[in-house]
A and B are shown apart, each in its own frame.
Chain A
Amino acid sequence: MLGELKELWKFREMLVTMVQREMKIRYKNSVVGFFWSLLNPLITVAVMTVVFKYFQSNSTPNLGAYVLAAYLPYMFFQLCLLDSAQSVLNGLDLAKKIYFPREILPLTMIVSNLIHFVLALAVFFVYLLGVYILNPQVPPFQVTTLWLPVLLVVNVALVTGLGLIISALNTFYEDVKYIVSVLLYLLFFLSPIMYFSESVYHSPAAASHPWVYTLYHLNPVATLSTSYRKLLLASQKVTMRGESWDPLPMDWTMFGITAAMSFAILLFGYHLFNRLKWKFVERP
């Protein structure tokens, strides 16, 4: 594996060129292109906020920020997996004609989505600042915001591992990407994005069986979503339909387990990809 990494390092300039190309396509109209691609998450979150606030009577203050804090990372997760699923098939023509480490194809998708995610997070902090100016109760930055790089490293390890596995499998079985998109859809509901992990904790199921809450957070996306919220935003009471719950503290044990899982997935994914990557051009 070290040899493969060394080889990849030798081809870093190719990765940079591929990412530049990808960004160019995505932000074709420069600045306008970037905001255009932000429109989807912003509209989704606006709709979700309206639904929760008025139809579900969720009166948690600054709700939009809490939804965004979990929805932006979920978008990053989803785009990385779907883009890398197709990346090897799209690059097959190139791969048939010239030698290069094949992992550059999915990694291009991971890196360009990471750049996009970081830009979206920057807009997120501008949003928080705007909310703070209008309503100076919730400060836009927490001390725990400093943990953001750690969150990103774990998140990137997870999506890279899964992206490598999915891209390798989808090259041989072209319906893998459809299965992945169904699983992503289910994962969206199984993770605290449209609701709070406090709701799960206080739900009747988790109240009678405490292991339900632990099992729920063994899903790395659930733990990451909760962690983004806890670390980027001030902890506050969750108020829903007259009921009010104290915020749960950041669960570092679960986060540690998720980090370990993510790196295990990364190692396994890279190993699997390396075993299969020279068969890509020979697929029947």
Chain B
Amino acid sequence: MASPQQAKPLNELVHDARAPLNRISMNAELIKLVLENDMPKDKALAALDKIIANCQACSDSLQLISESK
């Protein structure tokens, strides 16, 4: 039996995969700002943690897409 995620149409699955990519992109931009402007590095470290977590989330979403075929 298909899981609720797998029952989603493809466009929604793609939307779900794009969301973590979007977070990764904006967190990377935030790190650039921190480095370019000598801001406290804890903001950059937090953003890096979020990038790592979202890479995993994106990978999970792609896995679901591949399984939905």
Q: Do A and B come from one complex?
A: no
Q: Which residues of B contact A (CB under 8 A)?
A: none
